Amino acid sequence: MVRRHDPDRRQRIIDAAIRVVGEKGIAGLSHRTVAAEADVPLGSTTYHFATLDELLVAALRQANEGFAEVLDGSGVPDDTEGDLAAGLARVLGEWLGGERTGVELEYELYLAALRRPALRPVAAEWTEETARRLAARTDPVTARALLALMDGICLQVLLTGGEYDEGYAREVLARVIP
């Protein structure tokens, strides 16, 4: 399909990269697989993203928006009167109870920063931004501890295939909050 004027092409390439990683993992990502998935010429992927790391950075940025939307949509960061531990446990339940593939994808991209230094600044930005959101309800150190604990809970559920236990999450999150 020839598209002379295609202002959405870059976004379609990012969306295609996310689908490819979701289906085949990061190892299955190439300019060629993304071009085929996005139905664009191979040259379009390299025009918009010279390296796979650039494409992964864009994909990680977009994937990171998923949890931020759930957190912001919950109202927990702004609810100064509500039970923070209960609110965060509920948010994790919504996050893990949704499209599990999306959650797995976000963590796969996030953890890819261990081996791909180009992704580290994006992972750090996500951590800082999410900690900032949580710090609106508590101090910055506690916010980072809550974030680390929430990541740990999510990873345990994803890696073991277990069910999310909101009561357990609420209890352990409450232990971190002063």
Which tens digits make up the pLDDT trace of 156-178?
A: 999 998 899 999 999 999 999 99
CA pair distance 42, 82, nearest whole angstrom: 51
The answer to whether residue 91 scores a pLDDT higher than 90 is yes
If you search the block for the tokens 């927990």, which residue do you land on? 76
139 with 66, same domain? yes
In this structure, are 45 and 72 located in the same domain? no
* Domain end call among 50, 66, 87: 50
User: Which domain CATH number covers 21?
Assistant: 1.10.10.60
pLDDT digits (tens, 9 = 90+) for 1-54: 445 667 799 999 999 999 999 899 899 999 999 999 999 999 999 999 999 999
First-last CA distance in the chain: 59
Provide the residue range defining the domain that includes 26. 1-50
- Residue 60 shares a structural domain with residue 108: yes
pLDDT for the residue numbered 89: 97
Residues 147 and 127 grouped into a single domain = yes
pLDDT on residue 86: 97
Write down the pTM of the prediction.
0.83
- Do 83 and 29 reside in the same domain of the chain? no
Tell me, yes or no, whether 99 and 63 share the same domain: yes
Q: How many domains does the chain have?
A: 2
Same domain membership, residue 70 and residue 119: yes
> Residue 127, exposed/middle/buried by CB under 10 A (0-12, 13-18, 19+)?
middle
CATH code at position 73: 1.10.357.10
pLDDT at 4: 61
pLDDT score at 144: 96
Residues 43 and 69 in one domain: no
